[in-house]
């Protein structure tokens, strides 16, 4: 999709260090990390948000979660735990309209989820 920064990263038009890649997804570090580990997993194909997942995407989304878990093991944060986060739409605080799964960990995480 034109003018989508995560499509640009997936298509290698923007240079980013890729931490994981398979046929359908890639992972890279968040540019503005909020914890020692902050990795984003995105599908190579443009899907705007969780609200736009179709039946055909079910395996893809399972793969994203599975690969995030594998990355947590590789980075040694699985024993202490971590967060997996999909922000969705305006109220969910989603800023980039290309679905992405945040893997956040490496420290005890402060929890604040409340209405603005």
Under DSSP, the state recorded for 4 is: -
- Nearest distance from residue 80's CB to ligand AMP, in Å? 21
Helix (H, G, I), strand (E, B) or coil at 22: coil
- Listed residue (23, 22, 21, 4) closest to 13, CA to CA: 4
Does 59 participate in binding ligand AMP (rule CB under 6 A)?
no
Q: How many CA atoms lie within 13 A of 22 on its CB side?
A: 10
Does 94 participate in binding ligand AMP (rule CB under 6 A)?
yes
* Dist CA 13 CA 79 (whole Å): 36
Q: Which residues, 19 to 58, sit near ligand AMP by CB under 6 A?
A: 28, 30-32, 40
**Residue 38 designated active-site:** no
Site string for Zn ion, 25-64 (x = CB under 5 A): ---------------------x------------------
Active site residues: 100
């Amino acid at each position: 999709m034109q003018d989508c920064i995560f499509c640009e990263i997936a298509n290698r038009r923007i240079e980013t260090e890729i931490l994981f890649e398979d046929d359908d997804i890639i992972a890279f570090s968040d540019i503005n990390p909020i914890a020692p580990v902050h990795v984003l997993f995105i599908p190579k194909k443009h899907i705007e948000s969780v609200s736009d997942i179709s039946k055909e995407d079910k395996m893809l989304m399972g793969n994203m979660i599975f690969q995030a878990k594998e990355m947590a093991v590789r980075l040694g944060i699985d024993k202490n735990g971590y967060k997996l986060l999909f922000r969705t739409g305006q109220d969910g605080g989603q800023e980039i309209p290309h679905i992405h799964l945040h893997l956040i960990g490496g420290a005890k995480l402060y929890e604040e989820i409340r209405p603005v």
